[in-house]
Amino acid sequence: MITPLHDKNGFFKYYTAESAKLTLAHTSRKWSTPRLFNDPFDNQFNIYYEEPSEELAEQQLRQFHEILTSPEPLKPNQFGPMTPKVELIRRVRLQNPDLKYTDDEMAYLREGVIEGMRRVIKNVPTMNAAIRGILADTTVFCLSETHDNLLMWSHYAQNHTGDVIKFLALAEVDAPTIVARPVRYSRQMPQ
């Protein structure tokens, strides 16, 4: 059984009269792709990375050092194809807890981190395009917490001539409604 993500007992969907009849007759639900949303910016975001700085490189090195010295095992594939190499470095570090880097070695590592960040930044447009392609093929079951929203009745229920159907949130049947999340709108595309 899936754990509910909210305490609601159900949600509402506004329909045209014809769509409501079909939904009830076939006991089905229509999941929409973001391409069909009336807001072209719904379900969109940009990956964004700050221009690398010494402070950011230091922060990354500190975080990596914490991973290397942690007694917690790595998660499978935590670093992708680099996971076995990171695990090897972890084992060496754990066996040599007094190992210290020289200033030259730290400078070399910092420059490597900065170069890695620059390479990632260079690939951001390609990553954003790939993510948009994946999101465009996803489907979303759009619901409302209210059954009496005038704008929803006007827009989705054919100018107040349609219907609204309540979909129960029943954890015992693993209904998709038990993992529903509210939409968070922002003035700018999230990064």
Residues 76 and 102 in one domain: yes
| Percent above pLDDT 70 for the chain | 99
Residue length of the chain: 191
Last residue of a domain, one of 134, 153, 170: 134
In Å, how far are 62, 78, 181 from 165, measured between CA atoms? 52, 43, 18
The mean of the pLDDT values for the chain is: 89
CA distance 35 to 42: 9
Q: Note the pLDDT of residue 166.
A: 96
Q: Note the pLDDT of residue 1.
A: 73
Longest CA–CA span in the chain (Å) reads 75
In a domain, 43, yes or no: no
Helices (H), ranges, the chain:
17-26, 54-69, 83-95, 103-122, 124-136, 150-156
* Per-position pLDDT tens, the chain of length 191: 788 889 999 999 999 999 999 999 999 888 888 878 877 777 778 888 888 988 999 999 999 888 888 888 889 899 899 999 999 988 888 888 888 888 898 889 899 999 999 999 999 999 999 988 888 888 889 999 999 999 999 999 999 999 999 999 988 887 889 999 998 877 877 77
Residues 88 and 157 in one domain: no
Residues 60 and 110 in one domain: yes
Q: Note the pLDDT of residue 132.
A: 86
In a domain, 46, yes or no: no
DSSP structure class, residue 152: H
Three-state secondary structure call for residue 160: coil
- Which value, in Å, is the radius of gyration of the alpha carbons in the chain? 25
Give the residue numbers spanning the domain of 121. Answer: 54-134
